Amino acid sequence: MKRSTSHRLLDHGRTFAAGCVVLLLLVAGAWASWGTAQHVVLSKGREHGTMSVTGCGDDMCTGSFAPDERSERRAGVTIERSVAVRKGDRFPVVVKPGTGEVVRTGVPGFLHAWVPLGGALVLSALVLAGGMRLTRTAWGAGVAGAALLAATFFAL
């Protein structure tokens, strides 16, 4: 049976709309991740050290900063509160330029910075499978996002 032109146009419109949603999800995930990841990925020339968490509020945790040999001493630094930051923890950090805020470095910090992209990959997999009928691509995106989220969970 031959499909009508309007039916084919509707299929192409659905595929285009789903593609726009996938693109929006991935760009938003990368954008949200890059705000933190840039300090971890491009850390050369920035202040490095170790943070010892002394207390946590609702949104931020504070602590002391032990600089490496090329960084300056600071009275105290803050880090965004997450499940990976608890009172008494010590971990390597890099200071955001011009602030007293730090970002966790190393493999755990790198993975934690990219969590929003991992979530976006999992969500886009659903749209790829349902809206665009690209099941292999959807499985690839979903597995990649789930692997990133699982690796972050185990690294922290």
Average pLDDT over residues 6-35: 95
Is residue 89 helix, strand or coil?
coil
pTM for this prediction: 0.87
What is the torsion angle, in degrees rounded to the nearest 10, for the CA atoms of residue 77, residue 78, residue 82 and residue 84? 0
Name which residue leads in pLDDT, 98 or 83: 98
pLDDT of residue 30: 97
pLDDT of residue 1: 63
Per-residue pLDDT reduced to its tens digit, 23-59: 999 999 999 999 999 999 998 888 999 999 999 888 9
Among 152, 126, 143, smallest CA distance to 25 is for 126
